[in-house]
Amino acid sequence: MTVKSTPEQIRERFDNDVERFSNLETGQTATMDAPLVMESVAQAAARTNPDAANMLDVGCGAGNYTLKMLQYVPHMAVTLLDLSRPMLERARARVADAGGRHVRMMQGDVRDIELGAPQFDIILAAMVLHHLRGDDEWRAVFEKLYHALKPGGSLWIADHLAHAHPAIQEMMQARWGDYLTGLKGEAYRDHVFAYVEQEDTPRPLLFQTDLLREVGFTQVDVLHKNNAFAAFGAIKPAPAPPELGAGGAAS
């Protein structure tokens, strides 16, 4: 069994890979349908929370998803969270250059960092949760993100997936390998597969959508799935409006 990379080792790799992730078009070339997924997540979040005032980008990298999101809801305050300080600095600079205001940076691991009381209207988590390990970590992080959202807020995830049946997993891995080979050749495919094996512990889509419901989210929706990648989200329920009494006053 492969001994997985520590958060420190993952942080070091991303510290040295800022340039690749600093482009809206090419920052996620290993991810199938990356431009479509980014656009779908941004549009869904904007339609669900059009008056959003505060957004958290978990594992923000160099800021691609935040930049896309601000195209639709331009006046939000943004909190950028990432392990990598160089990624955070690049994300802040790019967001500022694009006219973003009220940008806050938080360096750390989402498993450990304190997010505080419910304060966010939108939370994005793109290509980051696959670094979670055991089921307890997945539940704890989903609960943390649920708590950090305001009632009526939404969480949107774009990520690398596993598949429950070994034969399906093997089939999807082979298809992804063909995509990577066609993109940049066999050496690139092997490079991507090596760091995925070393760093990632993805979970199936249905595991994650079920877990979203278990921790309290409602109206769970899948925006897109292709092979080993998907975009999906969920809404935190808002309080029910007070019932009106016979005289028309709230009871």
Q: Please state the rounded mean pLDDT for residues 95-111.
A: 90
pTM of the entire predicted model: 0.89
Q: Please state the rounded mean pLDDT for residues 99-124.
A: 92
User: What proportions of the chain, in percent to the nearest 5, are helix, strand and coil?
Assistant: 45, 20, 35
Beta-bridge partner residues of 5 = none
Beta-bridge partner residues of 81 = 58, 106
Query: What is the per-residue pLDDT across 72-83, written as a single tens digit (0 to 9) for each?
Result: 999 899 999 999
Query: What is the per-residue pLDDT across 18-44, written as a single tens digit (0 to 9) for each?
Result: 555 655 555 577 888 999 999 999 999
> Which homologous superfamily is 7-162+202-235 in?
Vaccinia Virus protein VP39 (3.40.50.150)
Matching residue, tokens 């595991």:
207
Query: What is the per-residue pLDDT across 229-250, written as a single tens digit (0 to 9) for each?
Result: 999 999 999 877 666 555 555 5
Q: Where are the domains positioned within the chain? A: 7-162+202-235
- With a pLDDT cut of 70, the percent of the chain lying above it is 86
Q: Please state the rounded mean pLDDT for residues 87-114.
A: 91
Average pLDDT along the chain: 89
Which run of H or E residues covers position 149? strand 149-160
Tokens describing residue 205: 């889509």
Tokens describing residue 162: 């596993």
Instruction: Report how far residue 219's alpha carbon sits from residue 221's, in angstroms, rounded to the nearest whole number.
Output: 6
Instruction: Report how far residue 95's alpha carbon sits from residue 127's, in angstroms, rounded to the nearest whole number.
Output: 19
pLDDT of residue 11: 66
The dihedral formed by the CA atoms of 28, 48, 204 and 181, expressed in degrees to the nearest 10: -20
pLDDT of residue 251: 45
pLDDT of residue 248: 55
Q: Side chain identity at 39, as an amino acid letter? A: E
